[in-house]
Amino acid sequence: MPALPPDLVAGLDVLGSVPVAGGSIAASFRLDTAAGPLFAKTHPRPKPRMFSREAAGLRALATAAPPTIGVPQVVRVTAGGLVLSWIDEGRRRPSTEDELGRGLAHIHRSTAPAFGALDGDTSGYLGSMPIDLTPTASWTDFFLERRLVPLAEAAIAKGTLSPEARRTIDRLAPRADELCGPAEPPSLVHGDLWAGNRLVDTDGRNWLIDPAAHFAHREIDLAMMRLFGGFGPRCFAAYDEAFPLATGWQDRIDWYQVPPLLVHAYLFGGSYGDSALDALRRYL
């Protein structure tokens, strides 16, 4: 377990630290301070701007989120780590899933002129995998050229994905406008919204953590939420009531699950490459 970098905790009056669970990429700690507990994460060899991009995403989500959705406050960010406000985890209330659906719909109503980066920095990450967030006016172009093609090529080069996936993407490319669904304005998305990146506190309030936030088609968040489970049906129903989804959105879930499956194929191997290829084949 790496030590906490001095510049990350300087001036925070840390009385002690305890390692806690916090994902597979960074080492995570509870910091006990004179002002109360804080959460810290650090990496001995961080990728460029890894923590600053996460901090920017948290700040963007915090600005867009309604009061029913919590986003940790960024206390400190350095090249090697991040300090956030602490969340005491609890259990869901009967209204927790509805509030998440409505709250996410509220966040998705925050828009931008183009798909891509939150600001002038076009670098980003999905997990620990670098992604290109160079803005474009076309969601179809963004999804194909910034997501499917580079992620597939990286996994193929690593040997964790069959080259058939690249050929399948080429076959599907002429239909990409149809497969991506009706045109919508760019929405602020969490970008990596699986169940582990949603916490529930002791009051039953939802919190969003570990974002890969950018402006995208809002259905990518919903598809990610369906990939590994953990979100109740009331969440999706409440979302659709608050911000109605375009016809056929459920038919596009597999399509929008391909990028996270490709990232998992690249990072972890196993059956993720086969799952990504199977998802692509469904659209032939």
Residues whose CB falls within 8 Å of the CB of residue 40, separated by 6 or more in sequence, listed in order: 4, 8, 9, 17, 28, 29, 30, 31, 81, 82, 83, 84
Q: Which backbone phi and psi does 115 adopt, to 5 degrees? A: -85, 135
Q: Which two tokens stand for residue 259?
A: 């990028």
The angle that helices 96-108 and 233-242 make with each other, rounded to 10 degrees, is 40
User: Can you tell me the distance from the alpha carbon of 100 to that of 200, in angstroms, rounded to the nearest whole number?
Assistant: 10
Residues whose CB falls within 8 Å of the CB of residue 264, separated by 6 or more in sequence, listed in order: 270, 272
| Helix/strand/coil for 270 | coil
User: Position 16: which residue type?
Assistant: G
Residues whose CB falls within 8 Å of the CB of residue 157, separated by 6 or more in sequence, listed in order: none
192 is catalytic: yes
Alpha-carbon separation of residue 76 from 33, 40, 174, 249 (angstroms): 14, 9, 46, 39
Among the listed residues 216, 243, 263, 184, the one whose alpha carbon sits nearest the alpha carbon of residue 118? 216
Residues whose CB falls within 8 Å of the CB of residue 88, separated by 6 or more in sequence, listed in order: 201, 202
Q: Which of 98, 132, 192, 203 is catalytic?
A: 192
Q: Which two tokens stand for residue 83?
A: 């300090």
**Residue entry with tokens 């597999």:** 254
Q: Which residues are catalytic?
A: 192
